[in-house]
Amino acid sequence: MRGPRTDRGRLVLVLALVTAVTVFTATVPLLREWFDLRVYHGTVHSWLHDGGNIYAYRVPGTGYGFTYPPFAALLMAPMALFPLSVAIALTLLLNLAALLLVVRVLTGRAWRRHGWYGCALAVCALALYEPLRDTVSFGQVNVVLLALVLADLWLLANGRGRWAGVGIGLAAAIKLTPAVFIGLLLIARRWRAAAVATLVAGAATGLAALVVPGASRFYWTDALWDTTRVGRLDYVSNQSLQGLLARLGETGRPAWALAVVLVLGVWGWRAHRAVVTGDWRAAFALTGLTACLISPITWVHHLVWLLPAFAVLIRAGQGKTAAALYALLCTSVVWLWFDDASGVDGFLGSNSYTWVTLGLLLWLPVGQAAGQPAGQAAGPSRRTPSLRSTTVTAPAPRQAAKAMATASGQPGPVSGTAATATGAGSGPDCGRERSASSEPTGFTRPAASKPQSSSDRASS
């Protein structure tokens, strides 16, 4: 099916899609009423204006409060200067800026080829993505964290590795899950970047300990290990391995630990293969998938970490697969089993997003190194490649002229300019050598007293 070929037809289609998306987002999904942002705003207001403890605050009428490391509270402290309405507006702008950075890093300059029409269609598609629309509606920080991590990818890919690791370090200090990306830097033998990320995370955590020593002590010795502060493990919004096991009635640590070890083994093998072929987009995408699977609690809105995987699929020429999986994550299908996740249908349906994440970890195309056509994997490399571009010198001009003339079968002069073949393309994966928040997301039913309509929910 082909789209309209005239600008008028495209404009009509875009307006129709914008209208449909607006109606859908305003009526079908339950709006989250900025619940997580209310947690953040109330926490820092209570802390700075009333002298309250960061982890003692609870949103009025609920049992839910702040669950991030203390450094996150320091960064959110400026919220205490503004009323909630201003904090909402600033959060929307911050999320929009972060999303633009994410799209820019994942697409490189490819978006320019599609003009305003392609950008408009992309905006409509992003607006339908359940993890993203829940992130916005909750006032969550997921897109900001993703942007920080991908900023490091961009720095490494563009030969600016001096500051690489800062984004990952900050993201890990705000929320522990992105610390998995330090493991990726170690797999890639990017020792400097891994050290920078570790030092930044440690320094940020140390700063928080100096500013709020009591809250820091409580978090690292008590709150971190108490998953009940975040929400029920078996709640349908928890699309991690732990959530899947909990819905089966298996809440013991051994089974979950074994599942985590297996997933980390697959990740290490596949991420290493991606790294040695210079496929950095795939390496970062695989790490985001792994973070979602091994985290004890991965609410639906945390699955913005799957966006890099969809970019990899499209780049590998698997657009139809990407579209199908992406569409599934727009449907809110898991909420059909909100009340009862038993039986075969409950096992399959209530864990739909977990199956997508696990499937992508196992079968995401890797080896799409810079400069290769989509769908053509790079061969193995014997050593870990540098992220910087590596130039391969071409034959001397006269030799090149003779070779070109022979190959073309046409005598005659050839430009004396020596051609050079570079081993790096544009975008985040260039430069290979040649040889756990808030509550679960809500569900599509009448609004209850709490946005997520669960007796057990919290900000994570």
Of the ranges 19-33, 39-53, 155-169, 180-194, which one carries the lowest mean pLDDT score?
A: 19-33
pLDDT band at 28 (very low <50, low <70, confident <90, very high): low
Contact 426, 224 (CB under 8 A): no
- Per-residue pLDDT reduced to its tens digit, 71-85: 999 999 999 999 999
For residues 38 and 48, give the distance between their C-alpha atoms in angstroms, rounded to a whole number: 15
Say what the pLDDT of residue 85 is.
92
Q: What does R_g of the chain's alpha carbons equal in angstroms? A: 24
- Does the pLDDT at position 281 exceed 50? yes
pLDDT band at 453 (very low <50, low <70, confident <90, very high): very low
- Does the pLDDT at position 391 exceed 70? no
Contact 317, 452 (CB under 8 A): no
- The residues, any chain, with a CB within 8 Å of residue 147's CB and separated by 6 or more, are 97, 98, 99, 101, 102, 167
Say what the pLDDT of residue 1 is.
58
Say what the pLDDT of residue 423 is.
38
Say what the pLDDT of residue 30 is.
59
- DSSP alpha helices (H): ranges in 164-279? 166-174, 180-187, 191-211, 213-221, 241-247, 253-276
Contact 178, 150 (CB under 8 A): no
Q: What is the mean pLDDT of residues 354-375?
A: 78
DSSP state of 1: -
Most confident of 17-31, 193-207, 440-454: 193-207
Say what the pLDDT of residue 10 is.
81
To the nearest whole percent, how much of the chain has pLDDT over 70? 77
Of the ranges 1-15, 100-114, 360-374, which one carries the lowest mean pLDDT score?
A: 360-374
3-class DSSP state for residue 390?
coil
Choice between 413 and 273, residue whose per-residue pLDDT is larger: 273
Say what the pLDDT of residue 284 is.
95
Say what the pLDDT of residue 230 is.
76
3-class DSSP state for residue 231?
strand
Q: What is the mean pLDDT of residues 91-100?
A: 94
Say what the pLDDT of residue 383 is.
41
What does the mean pLDDT of the chain come to?
80
For the question of whether the overall pTM of this predicted structure is more than 0.85, the answer is no
- Per-residue pLDDT reduced to its tens digit, 171-213: 999 999 999 999 999 999 999 999 999 999 999 999 999 999 9
